[in-house]
Structures are given as C-alpha cells and as structure tokens.
C-alpha cells in the first residue's frame, strides 16, 4: 500500500528538524555556561492550504519575517514573530515586549516549554511529545553507537 502523505511528512519533519532541535535545545540548556534557550514552533499555514496536509513547512515563517505576501488578517502574526526575534537579538530575551498576556518561558528539559506562534499564540509543553518518544525511546536505542542520538535511524 501507499504511505499516507501526512505520515511521511511527519516522519521527515521529526527526523530532520524536531528531534535534532530538541536534542540541541536540551544539550544547550544543560550546558556548563547556563545558556538561555527559547524554543518556538511556527504553527500557521497560510492559504492556500492543501486540506490533506497539516502543519507548517520548514522556513514558512520567513514570509512573515520579511513581509512577503502577508495578508492583512495576518499582520498580528507578522508583528508577533518579528518583535520577539528583534528583542532576542538585542537583549537575549524574547519576552519583552511581546504583545501577549504571558511571557515566553525558557526551554528546559524538565518542562520543555515552547511558544506556539500562530494567529492564537500560546505557551505549550513537550513539542510533539508522542512522536518524539519514538525517537528518544525506540530509535535511539536501536543505534549501536552510545554517542548517536538516533539521527542514523536508517541503521536499525
């Protein structure tokens, strides 16, 4: 049979972006230098959207950062994306002056907070938790290298 498109996209996204990003965020946040880590998920699909695909493709947020073909109804998202990036570049903290009634918490491995950037932004925990467990609990254990975090998933 054929592989459902969404399942294939989720698999590719997890192996290429989600799992490596979370591994890096965990390592950086637990490092000896006490690096502050802030994680976000850009979770808005501009129209037109294919109904059989959910989620946003890699790099989709660039159109909001540089104002490419952004609809008037998405101006709030454009500002929400740009403001914290600018603030982070200036101060190392994206929270102030976010136009939210909440702050953007630090990512840390215990709670794994991240900001879900969309037309209705919110702070969430454990990015794609069930999907990530596949990589952390199954695939990485199939690797024969103790240093490998599962990125060589094709070897099992």
Would you kindly state where each structural domain of the chain is located, as residue ranges?
Answer: 5-143
The region, left, alpha or beta by phi > 0 then psi within -120 to 50, assigned to residue 140 is alpha
Give this prediction's pTM: 0.72
Give the Cα separation of 74 and 118 in Å (integer): 9
- 140 pLDDT band, cuts 50/70/90, is low
Strand intervals (E) in 79-156:
113-117, 122-125
d(CA 126, CA 111): 7
Confidence band (pLDDT; 50, 70, 90) for 102? low
Dihedral sign for Cα 123, 127, 128, 133, please.
Answer: negative
pLDDT at 80: 75
């Amino acid at each position: 049979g054929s592989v459902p498109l969404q399942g294939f996209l989720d698999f590719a996204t997890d192996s290429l972006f989600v799992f490596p990003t979370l591994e890096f965020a965990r390592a950086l946040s637990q490092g000896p230098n006490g690096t502050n880590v802030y994680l976000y998920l850009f979770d808005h699909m501009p129209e037109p959207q294919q109904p059989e695909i959910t989620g946003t493709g890699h790099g989709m947020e660039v159109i909001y950062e540089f104002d490419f073909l952004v609809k008037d109804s998405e101006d709030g998202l454009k500002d929400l994306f740009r403001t914290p990036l600018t603030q982070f570049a200036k101060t190392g903290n994206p929270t102030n002056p976010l136009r939210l009634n909440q702050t953007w918490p630090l990512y840390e491995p215990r709670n794994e907070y991240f900001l879900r950037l969309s037309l209705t932004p919110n702070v969430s925990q454990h990015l794609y938790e069930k999907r990530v467990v596949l990589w952390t609990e199954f695939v990485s254990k199939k690797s024969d290298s103790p240093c490998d975090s599962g990125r060589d998933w094709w070897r099992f």
